[in-house]
A and B are shown apart, each in its own frame.
Chain A
Amino acid sequence: MFQYDAIDAAMVADRNAEFRDQVSRRLSGELTEDQFKPLRLMNGLYLQLHSYMLRVAIPYGALSSAKMRALAHVARRWDRGYGHFTTRQNIQFHWIKLSDTPDVLDYLATAELHAIQTSGNCIRNTTSDPFAGAAAEEVDDPRVWSEVIRQWSTFHPEFTYLPRKFKIAVTASPRDRTAARAHDIGLVLRRNREGRLGFEVIVGGGMGRTPYIGATIREHLPAEHLLSYLTAILRVYNRFGRRDNLYKARIKILVASLGAAEFARLADEAWEAMDRPRADLPDVELARIRASFGLVDFRTLPPRSERFEAAKGDKAFARFARNNIVPHKVPGYGIVQVSLKGIGEVPGDCTADQMEALADLAERYGHGEIRVTHEQNLVLPHVALDDAPAVHAGLAAVGLATPNINLVSDMIACPGLDYCALANARAIPIAQAISETFADPDRAEQVGELKIKISGCINACGHHHVGHIGILGVDKKGEEYYQLTLGGSGAEDAAIGHVLGPALSADRVADAIDKLVDVYLAIRQPQERFLDTYRRTGVGPFKAAVYQDAHQA
């Protein structure tokens, strides 16, 4: 995996020294909270209701065992023994003391971790495919390009004070596991007919109160021009994005108001005016970055593992293998997905003990690599199938063997009213009630892939717009109500969900999901996922099932 050189380390060290100075000026009273606020936000430090929250970047979601152990150490020494993996491939520590933050950041730097640009109106951590380097269908390693973007966007002098935050996703697979079309910029790497690498450039996707699926403004940007073209897009946005209204400041609003064609024209104009050879990355540097990811020394194994097949005699392992392990590009290996959605737990939470157990398992069986997904789960990308039973046992020992990847209980839920001051309604108890409704694992498997996403308010941190079933907390005369949407997707078939009907009270939500699922099971055709059935039939049968007795009630 990618390793810092002396320059990368110096960048983080210089920033940490600067922030140490700023914190001491704040603690001595030289800086007021108002003056300090923008400075701490540049370093991922938020002031929440009861304490500071530190958001640590996990560049493109890739962790080593050493990095995971460093996170565990931070959780134990400076927090309350756990961390929270977010939908943005970051980790948050919610109980950090201000005076400790310089030490926390210096400690993280020893493991090549930092909190730079995890907040503020700048270019944030790049999202990438958690299966990078392991997925059979990828055309190149998207981490290489994500690292190119990481360096380019770090302390970018022109783009540190954008109208609003800015998020880029990179994927190199036809199966999109990054929600590229829901990002400010989504980059999909492909080869054209001549075999040359290029990016489909998608601009203006996003969630929040006005959700958009991004528009394609370039079908095939030659890969070597990535940085100059990103500079052009960002320059257009920096100059013309709205700054008068917080809710209209994202690039999606600019693209929507200009139209994608006009936006593309402006970007092209800026691109053509630029000294591109100076802005683009030279081939030698790309080669250096590529080489610094190193090669994983996979063994030559038969595609079928007898040990793996024999272990399926155990029902729990068989279920885990069916739901959480997917094929790897190398014969005899599997990609092991680790669910952070244990029944009744807070999605994304992970204890220091669990982090350390994962670090050990990755080191022993997984070439030392761990990934974070935007669906708040973790991945051991390179596990020999022979070792999968041992990995499963190791995960089970720390409560991480929940076999529910992509199933109904693998939900995304934002913190909601339990933790978030902006919320209209609770999200986590709704998730828990749904989990309990579908507690029977056989039924959950029978239902198959179903992505439920819950947000406690219109800010959409739970990405409800792109849930197969989305649930949005709304306030109805001081009471918590929930609006359901159907048919959304954040994957390659991206779409914004449609409102099902009037909002429901909290006690009716889990029951409504149950009814939606019953309708699906009754009318689905072979191989259809919930989403496919909905797209075929439209809202009619689903709406009827949920609201049929509303009139009588």
Chain B
Amino acid sequence: MLIRLENDHFHLVEDRFAPVGEGEAIADTVAVILSLSRFQAEGEALLAAGRDVGVRMAPADRVEDLICDLPRLALVALDFPKYRDGRAYSSAVMLRETYGFDGEVRAVGDVLIDQAWNMVRCGFDAFETSVGPNAWAAAARRYRHVYQASADHRPPAFVERSQAARRLAAQEG
């Protein structure tokens, strides 16, 4: 199942991307997802042929290695081989914040409901998970407030507080 986050909405979508396994031939579908090494070897030709290309990054792959190609990529899939491996969170934040990537950032692998809020806050907007979209949305929004700025651009507590203080001052003024 693939959940997409669009305009603050979580919903199920058809996945039009075909994953290419290690050593597999590249399918005929328009859209494919390659590993970083396959992408580095074969991506150029696919992009030139007008195909939609996504790259699947293992936790140890460095997002820096994608910088030049980001504008042409449809999506970056970040793998959680185990949910406890938190490297993909930093990769996602860097894609969004440091490199301004606005394509799809997809969570793949061990994608569980208890990490929904971490993923959404770090800028993921697609989730390959067996959890339904309503449960996923509820888990992602479990906390009414957040303390720190992150890639989801939710206003952190300190912004909420200063807005509240300004409203109060305006009322009294």
Q: A residues bordering B, Cβ < 8 Å?
A: 5, 7-8, 10-11, 14-15, 18, 38-39, 121, 151-152, 154-162, 227, 235, 238-239, 243, 273-275, 278-279, 281-282, 284-285, 288
A278 contacts which chain B residues (CB < 8 A)? 149
**B57 vs chain A, min Cβ distance (A):** 12
Our pick among B86, B122, B144 for the contact of A10 (Cβ within 8 Å) is: B144
B148 contacts which chain A residues (CB < 8 A)? 151-152, 156-157, 227, 279
Our pick among B98, B158, B160 for the contact of A281 (Cβ within 8 Å) is: B158
Query: A162 to B89, alpha carbons, bound, how many Å?
Result: 10
Q: Given A238-B86, A274-B98, are A285 and B162 also a contact pair (CB < 8 Å)?
A: yes
7 example contacts (A-B, Cβ-Cβ < 8 A) are as follows: A11-B147, A157-B121, A158-B121, A235-B93, A239-B91, A273-B94, A279-B148
Query: A65 to B7, alpha carbons, bound, how many Å?
Result: 47
A160 contacts which chain B residues (CB < 8 A)? 86, 89, 118
B90 in contact with A235 (CB, 8 Å): yes
Judged by DSSP, the binding face of A is helix
Proximity bits, B66-101, A CB within 8 Å = 1, else 0: 000000000000000001111101110110011000
Query: A279 to B159, alpha carbons, bound, how many Å?
Result: 12
A161 in contact with B84 (CB, 8 Å): yes
Our pick among A158, A161, A282, A288 for the contact of B150 (Cβ within 8 Å) is: A158
A288 in contact with B161 (CB, 8 Å): yes
Since A158-B150, A239-B91 are in contact, a sample of 19 more A-B pairs with Cβ atoms closer than 8 Å, ordered by chain A residue number, is: A10-B145, A15-B143, A18-B142, A38-B84, A121-B84, A121-B86, A155-B117, A157-B89, A157-B121, A158-B86, A158-B89, A159-B86, A161-B115, A239-B90, A243-B87, A274-B98, A279-B149, A282-B158, A285-B161
B157 interface hit (Cβ, 8 Å): yes
B147 in contact with A238 (CB, 8 Å): no
B146 interface hit (Cβ, 8 Å): yes
B160 contacts which chain A residues (CB < 8 A)? 7
B122 in contact with A14 (CB, 8 Å): no
B86 in contact with A155 (CB, 8 Å): no
B114 interface hit (Cβ, 8 Å): yes
B98 in contact with A7 (CB, 8 Å): no
B149 in contact with A157 (CB, 8 Å): no
Shortest Cβ distance from A158 into B: residue: B89
Query: A154 to B157, alpha carbons, bound, how many Å?
Result: 12
A7 in contact with B145 (CB, 8 Å): yes
A151 in contact with B97 (CB, 8 Å): no
A154 contacts which chain B residues (CB < 8 A)? 147
7 closest A-B pairs by beta carbon, nearest first, are A161-B86, A157-B121, A285-B158, A157-B118, A151-B147, A158-B89, A7-B157
